[in-house]
Chains A and B, each alone.
Chain A
Amino acid sequence: MLGLLARLGATTISSFQRLGRGTFFLARVLTGLHSLLPRPGLVIAQVYSIGVLSLVIIVVSGIFVGAVLALQGYNTLVNFGAEDALGVLVALSLLRELGPVVTALLFAGRAGSALTAEIGLMKTTEQLSGMEMMAVDPLRRVIAPRLLAGFVSMPLLAAMFSFLGIMGAYVVGVGALGLDGGAYWSQMQDAVDFRDDVMNGVIKSLVFGFVASWIAVFEGYDCVPTSEGVSSATTRTVVHTSLAVLGLDFVLTAVMFG
């Protein structure tokens, strides 16, 4: 019993320590961010490996999520004779929730884990240390471009995800289920507000992009420099990012639409 209590205490203390280290780490990275200004190439290279290489999974899942939404939504809506509202259903669920959230979860699995593993391995093989001794600050040279690239890539990926989802639903709804294409778009345009729905979705994905990249680079930088250390850091990235995204999504939704 006492042992259980002690373990709970130890876990709590170490999570707070981690949070503290993460915050200091973030502050140090952000203060060094200006050093990227003369070197946009560093960020571009990372947008490639974080954003462009995530395209395939985002495109495919966006189309399929939209198509499935259309099928499911149609079956329910048709009972009420409201199948023309399919466009509204699909667009609102994608823009407000599924676009930002699913993109962030896929991002954690595809890009976040890769970031953590890459940085963790650089730490394990003393590349980060070596960089420091070459008078190159790894926080500025390695971490900052990755953080920024993740922050930039996420909203773009989420916008593509939502857009392709709506197109996928259009193909299923109008092409396969025989809805009226005009009604699909016009009902959608009537119901979807640019600021309330589109922009709030963008704000969500900006927040998720920031948090997901932060967690990924921090876990890599903070990992125990062994092979188990890197692998458990990679797992933690995916788990923590997913939990953080879902929790933040609830908070943001409550603030925006509550």
Chain B
Amino acid sequence: MQNGRFVEIWVGLFVAAGFAAFFGLAMQVSNIPLFQTVDGYDVHVRFDNIGGLRERAPVTMAGVRVGRVKSIGLDENTYDARVTITIDRRFDRLPEDTSASIYTSGLLGEQYIALSPGGLDFYLRDGDEITLTQSALVLERLIGRFLASMGEGDDND
């Protein structure tokens, strides 16, 4: 029966190691959503254009992550992008007139939302909406505008 004991211990170790690896993958490698959506409040943000923003993109303030993009939808009346972000419960003193912009991290990196604080004494709460927004910079549009201004410059000369 010693042999049976030996087998059992090894199998126990094997299963434990397997689950440990799985939890390692869940906690260390991926952003397991269970732990990140629970504790926070939702704020809606409207943008003219969100560019390449995707769900779960980070939301930062002064470079510090304060939340994540929860969902992205289209408002069919105004044809605006309606982005819902979840802000961590810890950051519950963001002024109501906070503004939001979409930036790109690095030249080819992921797009994220940066919040810049306003000055009001009222704070954002669950279900509020941020109205001061700046849309994503779409590269083609930028280049187009740049070329157009160049063209105008030529005309003036």
Contacts and interface: CB of A to CB of B under 8 A. Distances in A.
- Describe B's contact surface by its main secondary structure: helix
Interface stretch (B8-16, B71-79, B114-122, B132-140): B8-16
Interface stretch (B20-28, B90-98, B144-152): B20-28
B31 A194 contact: yes
A198 B29 contact: yes
7 contacts: A45-B7, A153-B14, A159-B25, A160-B17, A188-B29, A193-B56, A194-B30
B25 A198 contact: yes
A163 interface: yes
Contacts of B19: 156, 159
Interface of B: 4, 7-8, 10-11, 13-15, 17-19, 21-22, 24-26, 28-34, 56, 58, 106-108, 110
A194 to B, nearest CB: 4
Given A159-B22, A192-B29, A48 B11 contact: yes
A82 B18 CA distance: 32
Contacts of A155: 18, 22
Contact of B14 (A47, A192, A195): A47
A41 B110 contact: no
Interface of A: 41, 44-45, 47-48, 51-52, 55, 80-82, 91, 95, 153, 155-157, 159-160, 162-164, 166, 185, 188-195, 197-198, 202
B36 to A, nearest CB: 10
Among B14, B17, B107, residue most surrounded by chain A Cβ atoms (within 10 Å): B14
A118 B11 CA distance: 20
Nearest to B3: A45
B4 to A, nearest CB: 7
B33 A44 contact: no
A80 B56 CA distance: 25
A157 B32 CA distance: 21
Contact of A192 (B21, B30, B34, B106): B30
Contact of B18 (A80, A157, A188, A194): A157
A48 B13 CA distance: 10
Contact of A47 (B4, B11, B34, B106): B11
Contacts of B4: 41, 45
Given A190-B58, A194-B33, 10 more contacts: A44-B8, A156-B14, A156-B21, A160-B18, A160-B21, A163-B29, A166-B29, A190-B31, A190-B110, A194-B34
B24 A163 contact: yes
Given A51-B11, A82-B108, A91 B29 contact: yes
Given A190-B110, A194-B30, A44 B7 contact: yes
Contacts of A160: 17-18, 21
A193 B30 contact: yes
Contacts of B30: 91, 95, 189, 192-194, 197-198
B6 to A, nearest CB: 9
A107 to B, nearest CB: 13
Contact of B15 (A41, A95, A156, A198): A156
A162 B14 contact: no
A95 B105 CA distance: 25
